[in-house]
Amino acid sequence: MGTEDTPVFPELHQGAARIAQGSVECAEAVLSGRAVHAVNFAGGLHHAARAKASGFCVYNDAAVAIRRLLDGGVSRVVYLDVDAHHGDGTQEIFSEDPRVMTISLHQTGASLFPGTGFPNETGGRGAEGTAVNVALPPHTGDAGWLRAFHAVVPPLVRAFAPEAVVSQHGCDSHLSLIHI
């Protein structure tokens, strides 16, 4: 068993920490003005929560990037998650922070891991309305997905008026996952 200073699986910790650091470096590049857009192709570990790993995600790189943006003076961030799975960890981490709006388009949790992301999940105390979940039925095709995206995302982003957007595109697209 590992200790606080020695993880049980050091290689897993090291790999996940490097991914998280890459997303922090993206946030720092934006904050410093060195970049307008930045990407971490290894990122997208959106299931890790504040105090636990989940769904192959040890550390939530999107959440640490968002935290870095907030700590760097950004007043509002939209987190947009279009992975086939709900971005549960990121939503949980910022559920009571009104400076962060999480928007997730995903296959319904009634039929897909992690079993969350229902429309009634709307944000925690003091941040009501900042968690938005579009839970799509299995076998939603391109037209249905695009209709949902265009009906929900642009108006919410305009209304929230973020200074930064952190997006998570996932490693499994909506359509390919639901046909497995």
Residues with a catalytic annotation lie at 47
Is residue 114 reached through a cis peptide bond, with omega within 30 degrees of 0 on the bond before it? yes
Is residue 10 reached through a cis peptide bond, with omega within 30 degrees of 0 on the bond before it? no
Helix (H) or strand (E) holding 172: none
154's tokens: 């642009």
CB-CB neighbours of 66 under 10 Å: 26
Burial class, 45, CB count within 10 angstroms (exposed 0-12 / middle 13-18 / buried 19+): buried
